[in-house]
Amino acid sequence: SLREYKPFQIAKAIELVREGAIHPSLKRSGFYTVVSEDGDRTYLSHACGCTCPAGVKNRACYHRAAAIALNAA
C-alpha cells in the first residue's frame, strides 16, 4: 500500500514513471528495473523491497512506491 509513503516519495515515484526510468523486468513478474536519480546505476524493485541503499535497509523508497503503483495499474 502507498499509505506508508510520504508525499515527496509519491511525487518522485510519479516522476520515475513519467520519465520512463522504471521498466518491468523481462525475467521476473512484478519486478522492475529502476534507473537511479543520477543515471549511473539501476536497482531491482518490487512491492516488497528494493536493492537501492534505502531498500536494502528495509526503508520505504520511492522506487518501491513506483513498483506498487505500477502493479496496481
For the cut 80, the answer to whether the pLDDT of residue 73 exceeds it is no
Q: Where are the beta strands (DSSP E) in the chain?
A: 22-24, 32-35, 42-46, 49-50
* Range 8-12 contact pairs with CB under 8 angstroms and sequence separation of 24 or more: 9/60, 9/61, 9/62, 9/65, 10/62, 10/65, 12/62, 12/65
Percent over 90 (pLDDT), the chain? 82
21-56: per-residue pLDDT in tens? 999 999 999 999 999 989 999 999 999 999 999 999
Grid cell, residue 42, equals 539501476
Measured distance CA(54)–CA(6) in Å, rounded: 14
- For the chain, what is the mean pLDDT? 93
Grid cell, residue 1, equals 500500500
